[in-house]
Chains A and B, each alone.
Chain A
Amino acid sequence: MSEQLLSLRDLRVSFGTRGVLRKPREVLHGVSLDVAAGETLGVVGESGSGKTTIGRAVLGLVKPSGGSIHFDGTDITAANAAKRRRLARDMQVVFQDPYSSLNPTMTIGEILTEPLVTQGSTARDARSRVRGLLDEVGLPLGAIDRLPREFSGGQRQRIAIARALAPSPRLIVCDEPVSALDLTTQARVLELLLEIQRSTGVAYLFISHDLAVVRHISHRVAVLYRGDLVETGPAAIVTKTPEHPYTERLLLAAPVADPAAQERRRAERVRLREEQRARDEQAGAVL
């Protein structure tokens, strides 16, 4: 376990604990997963699967109700504010919505230097680092004095990635980082994320609903279904020849951008559904 950068053991999260009569609703029912240094773990699931909650729990934005989170061998399950501040150097985030994740009133320079200055860097060092960061994410230096609203969705996501990279973290939680982007932009941002990982060895906890995206960027893939981990393994296996029926269903549900292949896939899906129905009927008859 010591070589794992991030380890979740039996992580549980519940919401809605306020109010006397309301029972807390558990959204994660004991999830265990590991992310090694320099690796991408893709977490796939549909809405309500709890995939975003995993990321938020790791980042300390929601409190787990059970289980543990270890980062680099240290227990960070209930890290206090001071410890979180130190962790911010090693753990960063890129959110889905590039419109809401950048403060509209701050210039790009301010957005990027802020985390550096918080971490104790001098203003001059921070400024030179920002130039390096902009270069790394493929934005012109002129961006420094501009406001987020002057950039397109893809460019904003590059800024968000630069902000995450600023303190040279060892883990970046990517919560659907390309889902809000157009097709062409999506491909370019993914390429950027891959490039950065290859050159810096940062690990990604990559959360997405899109199997195609996850397949593209992940070394290993974990599939979540209603708060439970149903399957985890190497990307090639989980996204091509899955074992769990849910993963298989997920795989067949995504339409392929090829009319002929999609027709075959649709037939396969219908066949699977009919099989399932027949099995259900049989089970019903036996009962």
Chain B
Amino acid sequence: MSAEQLLNDPDLSATPRRSVLRRLARDPQAIITTTLILIIVAAGFLGPIFLAVDPNQADLRSANALPGTPGHPLGADQSGRDILARLLASAQTSAISGLIGAGVALVVGVTMGLIGGYFGRRTSAVTEWVFNLVMTFPGVLLLIVLTPVTGGDYRFTMLIFGFMLSPTIFRITRNLVMGTKQELFVDAARVSGLSNTRILGRHVLSAVRGPIIVATAFLIGTAIATQAGLAFLGIGSSAVPSFGSMVGEGFTNLTRRPLQFLWPSLVLGILTASLVLLGNALRDALEGLRTVPPRRGRTESPAEPVSMGEEDEAPLLRIRHLAIGYPSTTGEIEEVVHGVDLDVRAGEILGLVGESGSGKTQTAFAVLGLLPPEAVITRGSVQLNGRELLGLSGEELRTYRGKTIAYIPQEPMSNLDPSYRVGSQLVESLRATSTLSNREAKERVLALLARVGIPDPQRVFRMYPFEISGGMAQRVLIAGAVASRPALLIADEPTTALDVTVQAEILDLLRDLQAELGMAVLLVTHNFGVVADLCESMAVMQKGRIVETGKVRQTFAEPQADYTRTLLDSILDEDTVRTDPPVAPRDHKEVAR
């Protein structure tokens, strides 16, 4: 439903890269951090060209020169080296450190992640093992120990550090690839005859790049901070200016010239913080839409009783002018259900039919109070036995749900908790809505399981949801739903996920239970066969509106609305069998060659 809405959202119809950039361009956090990073990096690379001062040139005459001293705008350190020149050179060192460290991590991690995630079990196990090993190395300690090997060159150190950072990228890539590998478009690419390299580079990598980009921003920050840390400890060549060594030297001189300590700390702090914040902004832009929360409350106008003229008999469920909306990216409420009127009489089975995006499930969920938290009921009323349901608190609603109103979902499996046995889940929900003791509840549940056609209730009672079939799971949920003898059962596509033979049995079961308990059923479905089989009345929904209501037989025979007629005409006729014979293949390839 909301997916359909997203499709229509003009904001999202732009290409993703462009829209990510656009979203970033609107995010002040991204703009500010990017600007700061760019300024620091540009200063690091361009500054030394304009400022022709050697950052390592010591001049004891200007030792500890104050800021503003001619030739030393930010002063000089205790060896008389120009602080501004050293800051600029340090910025360059940091930028190179970040690029080498994160670059190596990226190349190694992504390559191995693609290989480890895409190819067979053995390759996966070997790469996994190697990267786990790398992760156990104490990073900074190892870099210190390896100083004789690196010769104190920070670039070499960062190269090694890149390898130590690579497990992070490896893990992200591998997990994403393993997920993407299941996607059908990868299968389609294989069927198209694409080589593994091309599939990995073109299809898999493009689908997994988002989170990797985000992680890279953090890794650059880590590499810069680590390089600075090592330099602070005095590891590496002292000839290379670095924020770390500058902080270290400033530290020893803290009491006499506190500013010497401040400058490098400030720039390093701004740089690493910007990278982390930019990473966060990237994550928001790439991985999720931040919808602006609605400014209005849940119900806009108080549900006022609407006089509908004379009614022969008060219906069990009375929906009037129900409208449901969702906040769009701009914060406006976009309506998806536009004023639905619907009555369900006691003991009646009503089929609510429509195609995807028609709002049929939204309407049913509004009755159950199960709309997603961002949904807004903009107007209307939902009355059960004359009592208004909209605007009730969670606590008040709970007294209805499970007792007066029960629910059967479309996906039986995802509505059972896999970590609890079937029996205990049913007993728990039964006890929550009744005053039965544990033993009574168990007996009741066993009787119900037998009633819904489960051959060996005792056994199923002790089973976990994943041990039973989909049809069985739906029977279990039906047992749970009718346990408290509800007045209204809301079934949302209850047989759509099931095989036809199982569907027939579940429909039989629903019909029998309805007759036995005399409950009303609101059956949400897209299947006219199911409506024809089970329902007395039906309502047809299209684009958030009810276009037709009526008795099932009458509506099938003489549909009033054009849309209903279109739908009925689209049903594949029982009697048409394909009769035209196979035609000879057209040999276009011969022509092409």
Residues of A within 8 A of B (CB): 18, 36-40, 46-47, 59-61, 81, 84-89, 91-93, 95-97, 100-107, 114-115, 118-119, 146-147, 149-153, 160, 163, 167-168, 170, 182-184, 186-187, 190, 194, 197-203, 209-213, 215-219, 235-236, 239-240, 249-250, 252-262, 266, 269
Contact = CB atoms under 8 A, between A and B. Distances in A.
Contacts of A81: 195-196
A50 B583 CA distance: 29
B68 interface: no
B552 A38 contact: no
A47 B193 contact: no
B571 A257 contact: yes
B194 interface: yes
Contacts of B583: 38, 197-198, 201
B27 interface: no
Interface string B176-220: 000000011101111111111010001100110000000000000
Given A47-B499, A147-B16, A259-B532, 19 more contacts: A39-B582, A46-B501, A60-B190, A61-B191, A85-B193, A85-B195, A88-B191, A100-B183, A115-B193, A149-B7, A168-B588, A182-B356, A183-B355, A184-B570, A203-B582, A209-B499, A235-B577, A255-B527, A255-B533
A250 B585 CA distance: 33
Contacts of B502: 46
B499 A212 contact: no
A163 B191 CA distance: 11
23 contacts: A38-B584, A46-B500, A47-B470, A59-B187, A95-B184, A105-B207, A107-B15, A160-B188, A167-B192, A168-B592, A183-B528, A183-B570, A203-B582, A211-B500, A215-B577, A217-B578, A219-B581, A256-B574, A257-B529, A257-B556, A260-B553, A266-B533, A269-B504
Contacts of A146: 13
A203 B585 CA distance: 8
Nearest to A238: B577
Interface in B510-551: 526-533
A37 B585 contact: yes
Contacts of B262: none
A118 to B, nearest CB: 5
B29 interface: no
Interface in B340-399: 355-356
Contacts of B194: 114-115, 118
B211 to A, nearest CB: 14
Contacts of B429: none
A118 B556 CA distance: 51
Nearest to B577: A236
Smallest CB-CB A-B distances: 5 pairs: A88-B193, A255-B529, A201-B585, A257-B528, A85-B193
Contacts of A103: 185, 189, 203, 206-207
Contacts of B7: 149-152
Contacts of B290: none
B502 to A, nearest CB: 8
B500 A168 contact: no
Interface string B478-518: 00000000000000000000011111100110000000000
Contacts of A18: 121
A153 B4 CA distance: 10
Contacts of A60: 190-191
A118 B13 contact: no
Nearest to A100: B184
**Contact residues of B: prevailing secondary structure:** helix
A191 to B, nearest CB: 10
A150 B13 contact: yes
Contacts of B581: 219
Listed residue (A202, A254, A269) with the most chain B CB atoms within 10 angstroms of its CB:
A254
B11 to A, nearest CB: 12
A219 B577 CA distance: 9
A216 B570 CA distance: 12
B307 interface: no
A256 B532 contact: yes
Given A86-B193, A249-B501, A100 B185 contact: yes
Contacts of B529: 254-257, 262
Contacts of B503: 253, 255
A128 to B, nearest CB: 12
Interface residues of B, number: 68
Contacts of A212: 571-572, 574
Given A38-B584, A201-B586, A255-B532, A187 B570 contact: yes
B61 interface: no
A92 B7 CA distance: 28
Contacts of A201: 582-586
B64 to A, nearest CB: 57
B39 interface: no
A185 B355 CA distance: 10
B514 to A, nearest CB: 15
A165 B556 CA distance: 38
B501 A105 contact: no
Contact of A38 (B187, B470, B574, B585): B585
B198 A209 contact: no
Contact of B567 (A160, A184, A262): A184
A262 to B, nearest CB: 4
B499 A118 contact: no
B419 interface: no
Contacts of A118: 192-194, 198
Contact of B530 (A37, A153, A215, A255): A255
A200 B582 CA distance: 11
A167 B356 CA distance: 33
Given A200-B586, A260-B553, A93 B188 contact: yes
A119 B193 contact: yes
A200 B585 contact: yes
Contact of B572 (A104, A215, A259): A215
B172 interface: no
B185 A250 contact: no
A265 to B, nearest CB: 9
Given A249-B501, A259-B532, A37 B582 contact: yes
A216 B355 contact: no
Interface in B237-282: none
B500 to A, nearest CB: 4
B13 A61 contact: no
Nearest to B206: A105
A8 B568 CA distance: 38
B295 interface: no
B136 interface: no
A213 B188 contact: no
Given A212-B572, A253-B504, A170 B585 contact: yes
B282 to A, nearest CB: 16
B577 A92 contact: no
Given A201-B585, A255-B532, A104 B207 contact: yes
B584 A37 contact: yes
Contacts of A197: 583
Interface string B27-70: 00000000000000000000000000000000000000000000
B181 to A, nearest CB: 12
Nearest to A199: B586
A40 B578 contact: yes
A198 B580 contact: yes
A39 B584 CA distance: 9
